[in-house]
Amino acid sequence: MSINLERWSTDAERDAIVAALNPPSAEAKPDSPEDAAAKEILKTACTTCHDLKRVTEAQFTRQKWMETISNMREFFGAKFPDQQVPPLVNFLAKTQGPGPRADSPMAALAAAIGRAPTIGFIWTNDRSGYSVKYAYRTSLTDGMERIILASNRRLTMPGVQQGGSENPSESFTVIEIRIDRNGSGEAKASFDTPVVVQPEPRTLVLENYAATRVLLREVRRQDSIAVGQR
């Protein structure tokens, strides 16, 4: 397998990806007036017959939310004005659609990685190419170099079993490579451990590098090219 990087991520590109997983201050962003109105209806008009959990547990398509809300009104007698229906449907379709929750940090991270420009490629031994969307380099205390890469796809490599139970639904792959002074090292991936944000220097990292299975051994750095063997 080989990894070819054209360049490292810029600070702005890094910030966009890191912020998706770890927003600088989520509360600081006020709701739009429509979202605020929708939340108000949920709190008042939707909690008289059942608690809000009944609503927050549901993950429906827009169509199904329209039907559900009209059922609540027509059959069960939920009371709120007609003009509040569209903002409520929009809000629920946005925050509680099918699939991974829109507000889940991992879904936000996957989307941010997908939006980032391609700055390199990972070529696996079976000649599949994966775009590199994030490439960041920091140093560790003992002269080790730490390189964090992210691809917008889940890496599949012959012989590598990545039934990682930690992140079964992740569509992206984060790879952390640690290279010693002599330019050789090993790589691990996010199949088995969550991805987290390290504050200083601010970057994505694997949460528990030490305990994570080695993905590639004998990783060597050749200028900007890292080559690894399993």
Which spans of this chain sit near ligand HEC (rule: CB under 6 A)? Answer: 45-46, 48-50, 54-55, 58, 68-69, 72, 76-78
- For residues 4 and 129, give the distance between their C-alpha atoms in angstroms, rounded to a whole number: 10
Q: Which residues partner with 216 through β-bridges? A: 187
Q: Least distance (Å) from ligand HEC to the CB of residue 140?
A: 49
User: If we measure between CA atoms, which residue out of 118, 155, 143 comes closest to residue 133?
Assistant: 118
> Least distance in Å: CB of 46 to ligand HEC?
3
Looking at residue 221, its amino acid is R
- Say if residues 35 and 142 touch (Cβ distance below 8 Å): no
- Both structure tokens of 199: 């504050």
Supply the minimum distance, in Å, between the C-beta of residue 96 and ligand HEC: 9
Query: In this complex, which beta carbon is closest to ligand HEC, that of residue 17 or of residue 38?
Result: 38
Yes or no: say if 215 and 209 are a contact pair by the CB < 8 Å rule. Answer: no
Nearer to ligand HEC, 46 or 113 (CB): 46
Nearest by Cα to 195 from 148, 140, 126: 148
By beta-carbon proximity to ligand HEC, the closer residue of 3 and 46 is 46
Q: Which is nearer to ligand HEC, 8 or 80 (CB)?
A: 80
In the complex, what is the shortest distance from the CB of residue 133 to ligand HEC, in angstroms, rounded to a whole number?
36
